[in-house]
Each structure stands twice: as structure tokens, then as C-alpha cells.
Amino acid sequence: MSNEHAVYVDRLVKRYGKTVALRGISFYVDEGEVFGLVGPNGAGKTTTLRILATLLLPTSGSVKIFGMDIVKDANRIRRLISYLPEEAGTYKNITGYEYLSMIAHIYFNSKKDIEEAIELGIKIAGIGDRVYDKMKTYSKGMQRRIQLARALMVKPRLAILDEPTSGLDVVQAIEIRETIRYFAKKLGITIVMSSHNMLEVQEICDRVAIIDSGRILEQGFITELLSKYGVESLEKLFINLIRGETRRESA
Amino acid sequence: MRALKQLLIKDIKDLLRDPRIFIPFIISAVLLPIVGIVVVQGFRQSVQAVIARPIESFAVVDLDGSELSKFIIEALNRSESVHIETFKDIQEAIVEGESEFIVVIPPGFANQFRSYVNGSGAMPVLIVIQRVESIGLGIESARAYRGVEIISSILRSMLANRLGISKALPAVLNPIASDVLLYLEPRQVFVYVTGASATMMTLPMFVAPLIVAIIGLTVLQIAATSMALENEVKTFETLLTLPIPRSSILLSKILGAFVVGLIGSMFTVIGFAIYTYMVSAGIAQYATIITPSKSPAIQLLLSLGIQNIVSPLSLLIPKISFLAMIVVSSIIMVFFLAVLGVVIGALSSDVRIASTFVGPLAMPIFIAIYFIGFTDPLHLDSFVRLVLLSIPITQTALLSKLMIVNLWLPEITIGIIISLSLTLATLIVSSRLLSMETLARIHYYFTKRKMRQLR
């Protein structure tokens, strides 16, 4: 079953001491899909993505990336994925070009591959000659563009993007969204991203999972979910689900 | 290896291009020679004010009114080099006099002097009041003593004339001279030491451990800041998901801080070297340095065929074996502190928290270094000595001090082995720590405790 999916998460639990961050969530992502994890702050989105990115270990349950176990095959998985942390910053005193070059040298061996990756990185970043300036001179939007370029230029099979537009202004956010959509399709990259911006998720993602307090409340294709609940926007669906959950918990 | 090289280059570039890192390096290289200039200038001015300027005038208050006191005042008045003001009482001399000091001949001075000459009384005492603007170096009274010396010589000549021993007077006063040589047991050499050369010796003995501490703290600060910054801007999270071994991430951080710390230390050492040279040379100007050709002791030893005579400065050039040990110890120290810094940085969610951790660490380090600076390693308890020789930073400080006298102790080798093991243990523990899982658990534990305290 899991071999067919790019990501297969089965009854994933994550505990920190007595606190439970994830209460047995299950979802899958097909190859080439853009999948969104939607939820309020503290819902467990970042914990889930960090487990997918091999940063944290599951307490129980299983996670497979392209059929490989996240715990046993972490090193092999790292060759196939790239991860963009939430509010990711940059090294202040090196240039965007030097940073992209470092990443290319880590991932590739041949001069041709390295040059191609850097060229693609520069293209994804789309900041012109500013790529040769120290990154401390970059705006927040430019820093995020470089980080996104870093994540996509190595053509990973799976890109894990944690709140890729958080902290950015509207224009910067739109630019990042367009870049993700365009290059994900062009390079055939599977994407798992988190966001609390419903509009953004509705615009980029094919399928979503709505997560709250470490539980997945609902998941599926956006259009199907909207018609199932008879609402016109993901925002309304989200509010209905969260409130319903709250009512159930208080009852 | 390829990934390690890439990360290392990135770390070194990122650190060396950071003004917060390189400006302190330049400041230490430039500031220390400036401090040297200020110290030497201050010393020179003080010395000139006190010693170099001749005594031109002083006031005398004669409360004795004896034949002897009148004789002294007449003799002083006859002198062409000094001008004398005479007063009847001290208050008047202070208010109306202009001289920088006032010599008071107390009542009964002549009688006391007479008894002293006859061998039946205590040495007569003149009272001197020195005017000063401030009290600082502790050499303010030197000029007053020089003034009294003028009166002493008047009385000395008078006595010599009366006793008919004018010609023999120098021999009576100083029948013999001496020329002292030191024999340094650990090195089995004779050393000719004067005031100035002793300063040249003691300064590096105290300064060397201090340089070690500064270098150590620089490395610690760089490593902690660099790692904490990775946490702060979340680049560390990214690094941990790259297809590179965890050891490469840890090693690149440690080696980055190590290399940059060494470059920075070079600036500090150059600055200190210039400072030490300036201060030593400045002090040496005012002290007589015995040269081998003028020293009777050295001439005698040389004529007897004894060759192992060295200058104190040559002691500062260490033996190769000792120097090699210092280099090993320094590398262990810098590496240990780089590991410690990376651990502190990894545990800190931002640079400010890292600085909060590093700050209090500086205090015990400096206390230990001052202790080593002032203490005589030979008279330390052997257990304390072994402990000091086993902890990476105190080890280098103590070794640098022992190196100057070339004093090899059996504990040195054991200490090096212990410190090396300690460093490797820290490295292994920190490589375990350097995973998001462990850091997240530690972070969660502290956050939860904080939350509980807030409640």
C-alpha cells in the first residue's frame, strides 16, 4: 500500500513527556501532488513536517517516504527530500550565490550537475544581480526566495515547506506562492506544505488535511470537501470543523 | 569530506565577514599597543617628575635654634645649586613658602646628633613635609628624601673633616660592592638579573596566562554565537535535513570557530607582544642593565671557563619540546572550548541566550587564570596542580608559565592525557546532543518548567 504513495503516514503519535503533540494521525500524499496541512497554531503541523523531514522521531506509528521508513532509512530519505523551516532565515555574511553554490556542491558531484543546479537556483530565486550581494542586505521576501530556491533547485522528489509565506507581505507571499506552483509542476516535485492561510492552501494545494490539537479532522480533495460540507470556502469549512471539534470536546 | 569542506568554508566566510567578529580582533591588536604607549608615557612622566628634575629649592624651619642647625642653614645658603627659604614655624612655611618641600629641624636635634656621634643615642630625625597635587604612584616622597640627602652630605663632610678622614670617606661609607648572579636550578644556568630585566621576566609570566584566557574566551564566544545564530534563523534545521553526516555539521561548526578563533588570537598575541615589548623597553630606559662585559661576576665565571650564563630575555625563548607541548595543549584548549561553545549555542534558541551562558563562564575562567598568574606552581598542592594541568584552559595557562622557567613536571604528561580524554568525551556527548530530537526534548523540558513556574 505505502509503496504507491510519496508519503504514507499511519497512526503517527508524537509525545514530549506527558504532552501529546500528535494523537495518531494518518494521511498519504501521492507523487506529484501538492498537499496542504491546515490548522491553527499549535495544531501539530510543524511537528508532523519535522518528522517527515527526519528531524524528529515518531513516538509510535509509522511514516514512509517513497516506501522507505523514516527512522531506519533516514539517511537515504535525506537524499530525496528538501525541507524549508517556518520563518527560515539566511546566513548574513555570505552571498545568495555562495549559498546556492554550497548546496549544489553538497548534493551533486559532477561539475555539470553543480552548474545546472546553481543556474536553476538563481532562476527560482529570481532576484537578479542581488544574488551576488551578502544575504544580510536582502528583504524578508528575498531571503525566503533564496531559501525556496535552495529547497527546489536540487530537484527533490519531495519538498516539505513549513508555512512558506508566513511573515511576508501580500506581494511577497503571492510571488512565493506562484514560484512554488510553477516549479513544482515544472520539475515534478511532490510538495507537502503547512499553512494557516486558507486562501493560499485553496490556491496551491490539490488535497488538504485539516489538523487541530494533534488530530486530523478531515482530509481530501478541496473541491470534494467543499461540496461535502456545503460551504464555498476552505476558511468556512475550517471554522465549522474547528468549532464542531470544540463542541464535541466540551460535551 | 566534501560536505564538511563546503560547510567549513561557509562558516569561516560567514564569521570572518561579520564586523562583530573581526572588529574586536582589530581592536585588540591596536588597543594593546595604545595601552602600552599610555602606560610607558605615564611611567616616564612620573619618573621624570620625581627623579629626573633636579632639586632647586626647599624651605627649612629651624625649631632647634642650635649651633648645629644654624651651621646647616649657612651651608645650604652657600650652596649654588639650591635656593633655601627659612621660616620660624611650620604653618608659616606652608602658607608663605613656595618650595615643594619643607625640612623641619625639630627641637633637640643638635643634642640628639651629638649623642648619636658619641655612640650613645638613636639616629636623629629630620621631619620633611612634601607638597603634592595627588597621591598615585607611591614615589611622591622620593624628592623629599633627595632633599634630606643634601643635608646628610653636609653633615657627613663636617664629621669627616673633624675626624680627619676626608680621603677615606667613600671607603668608610661603602667598603664593598657586590655583583649578584642567579642560578636557575631547573635550567642549570646562571642568569644576570637587574630591576629592568626582572620586569621583563615577570611581565610575560603573568601576561602569558592572561593571553591564553582571552584566546579561550574568544573561541568560546565565536562558537556559541555562530551556533546560536543557526538556531535563531533556523538554518540549523535546514542543515540537519541535508544529505550529509551529522559529524560533518558538528565538525564544521567546531573547526570554523577553531580557525576563526586562531586567526583572532593571532591579532591578540601580536597586540600583546607589542605591548609587552613597549612596557619592558620603557621601563628598561630607567634602569641600569648590567652587560656581561661590565659585570665582574660574569667576567670571573668566564675566566674560570664557566659558559652557562644567559640573559633573562633568552629564558623567554622556550625549548622546542616545551613549545611543542604548549602547541598541543593550546590546540586541545581551543578545540575543547569550540566544542563547549557549539553545545552552548545549540542549547540556545538565540544569540542573546548564548551570551547569557558564556558571560558567567568568563568569571571562573579569569579567577583561575589570575590564580595561576600570581601563584608559584612549585608550591602548589600536587592534587591542585594536577587538576589545573588537566582542565584544557588552566592547563595551557599553567604550562605557559612553567615554560618560561622551563620547569618540567611529571603531572604535565598525565594532564595532557586527561584533558585530551575530557575533550573527546565532550565531543562524543555533543555529537549525541546535536539532533533535533534531543534539542527539542531539552527545549520542551525547560519551556514546561518555565510554564509551571509562571503558573
Question: Is A17 at the interface with chain B, CB within 8 A?
Answer: yes
| Residue A49 lies inside a defined structural domain of this protein | yes
Which residues of chain B have a CB within 8 Å of the CB of A53? Answer: 237, 241
- Predicted local confidence at residue B50, as pLDDT: 67
Which of B5, B242, B436, B439 would you mutate first to test chain A, the one with the most A CBs within 10 A?
A: B242
Which ranges of chain A have pLDDT less than 70?
1-3, 245-251
Which residues of chain A have a CB within 8 Å of the CB of B232? Answer: 89
Q: Write out residues 11-30 of B within 8 Å (CB-CB) of A.
A: 13-18
Task: Name the DSSP letter for residue A163.
Answer: S
Q: Do B241 and A93 touch (CB under 8 A)?
A: no
- Predicted local confidence at residue B433, as pLDDT: 75
Q: Among B15, B235, B448, select the one facing A90 at the smallest CB separation.
A: B235
| Residue A89 lies inside a defined structural domain of this protein | no
pLDDT by residue (tens digit) across B196-240? 555 556 666 677 777 778 888 888 988 998 899 888 888 888 988
Looking at chain B, which residue has its C-alpha nearest residue A86?
B234
- Predicted local confidence at residue B138, as pLDDT: 59
pLDDT by residue (tens digit) across B316-345? 666 777 778 888 888 888 889 999 999 899
How large a percentage of chain B has pLDDT more than 70? 87
Q: Write out residues 191-230 of A within 8 Å (CB-CB) of B.
A: none
Q: Do A92 and B14 touch (CB under 8 A)?
A: yes
| Residue A196 lies inside a defined structural domain of this protein | yes
Number of compact structural domains in chain A: 1
pLDDT by residue (tens digit) across A231-240? 888 888 888 8
**What is the average per-residue pLDDT within B48-76?**
85
Looking at chain B, which residue has its C-alpha nearest residue A21?
B444
- Residue A6 belongs to domain spanning: 2-83+158-250
Question: Is B376 at the interface with chain A, CB within 8 A?
Answer: no
Q: In this model, does residue B281 exceed pLDDT 80?
A: no
CATH of the domain at A179: 3.40.50.300
Q: What is the ipTM of this complex?
A: 0.89
Which residues of chain B have a CB within 8 Å of the CB of A85? Answer: 234, 237-238
| Residue A110 lies inside a defined structural domain of this protein | no
| Residue A142 lies inside a defined structural domain of this protein | no
Which of A22, A55, A100 would you mutate first to test chain B, the one with the most B CBs within 10 A?
A: A55
Q: Do A102 and B9 touch (CB under 8 A)?
A: yes
What pLDDT band is residue B62 in, cutting at 50, 70 and 90?
Answer: very high
Q: In this model, does residue B273 exceed pLDDT 70?
A: yes
pLDDT by residue (tens digit) across A99-140? 999 999 999 999 999 999 999 999 999 999 999 999 999 998
| Residue A74 lies inside a defined structural domain of this protein | yes
Which residues of chain A have a CB within 8 Å of the CB of B438? Answer: none
Domains of chain B and any CATH numbers: 55-160 (3.40.1710.10), 183-454 (no CATH)
Which residues of chain A have a CB within 8 Å of the CB of B17? Answer: 93-94, 134
Least confident of A172-186, B65-79, B107-121, B400-414: B400-414
- Predicted local confidence at residue B37, as pLDDT: 82
Q: Among A91, A106, A107, select the one facing B235 at the smallest CB separation.
A: A91
How large a percentage of chain B has pLDDT more than 90? 15
Residue B186 grid coordinates: 631547573
Q: Among A78, A105, A134, select the one facing B241 at the smallest CB separation.
A: A78
Q: In this model, does residue B448 exceed pLDDT 70?
A: no
| Residue A39 lies inside a defined structural domain of this protein | yes
